[in-house]
Amino acid sequence: MTSAPSHALRPWRLVANLVLGIVLVSLIVVIPVLIRTLLYQPFVIPSGSQKPTLLVGDYMFVAKFSYGYTRYSLPFSPHLFSGRILASEPQRGDVVVFRLPRNDSVDYVSRVIGLPGDRIQMIGGHLHINGQPVKRERIEDFLDTEDGRNTTFKRWRETLPNGVSHATLDQMDNGFYDNTNVYEVPPGHYFMMGDNRDNSTDSRVLTQVGYVPFENIVGRAEIVFWSVDRSSGGIRTERLGMKVR
């Protein structure tokens, strides 16, 4: 008489365990997707266009919520909506990941230099914004150890009109994009430049990158969480946890 209730409850326990298992598996799958879509997405730096700020082999988290959400915030970028939800405009000097306007399957990382309506020009390797030269000062040379070679490049501390200060590299005098025409940034677009000024395909190259629509910006680079020197295979422990500025 006492064993009947126990046998009667077993199917319900199986159902409860099954439901609990489904819920746990769903959480394991859904939570990372939500984090990647709404909060942070990892990216790896494949080229030297952002040296000395970001090095080849740096792994960083990009904040997806910094400027609101577009279809590029979603996995596989489905055409579910256009424009931007909960939009917040990038600031001059932000390091951002964006989708290449001419091939939106490609991610680029660069620094926001020009805002909508700005006039941008390079004169003798010196950045000018709205007709005014940007303040810069020469600082200690940058030692580049990529490809197993030690090379030094000129390094400058550049201070943008809003006070954001960052380092740039000058690999050669009279580089191809050291002297340009004036770029007039259209409404709703941004002008991107790499910190490695002589080795960056950025908005100065209108046929390849050009002006970047606000909708194409994925998010703001926040922190380096891992870094591997691909020449030696060693871990750059000094870069772990470094904020991207």
Residue 13 falls inside a structural domain: no
| Whether 201 contacts 192, CB under 8 Å | no
**What is the span of the domain harbouring residue 181?**
42-243
Residue 9 falls inside a structural domain: no
Average pLDDT for 15-36: 60
CATH value at residue 162: 2.10.109.10
Count CB atoms within 10 A of the CB of residue 134: 15
Residue 19 falls inside a structural domain: no
Residue pLDDT, tens place only, 210-227 = 999 999 999 999 999 999
Residue 234 falls inside a structural domain: yes
Residue whose pair of structure tokens reads 């970047």 in the numeric block: 212
Residue pLDDT, tens place only, 37-83 = 667 999 999 999 999 999 999 999 999 999 999 999 888 888 888 88
Q: Which whole-number Å values give the CA distances from 39 to 88, 90, 109, 138, 140, in the listed order?
A: 15, 17, 18, 37, 36
Name the band, by pLDDT with cuts 50, 70 and 90, for residue 233. confident
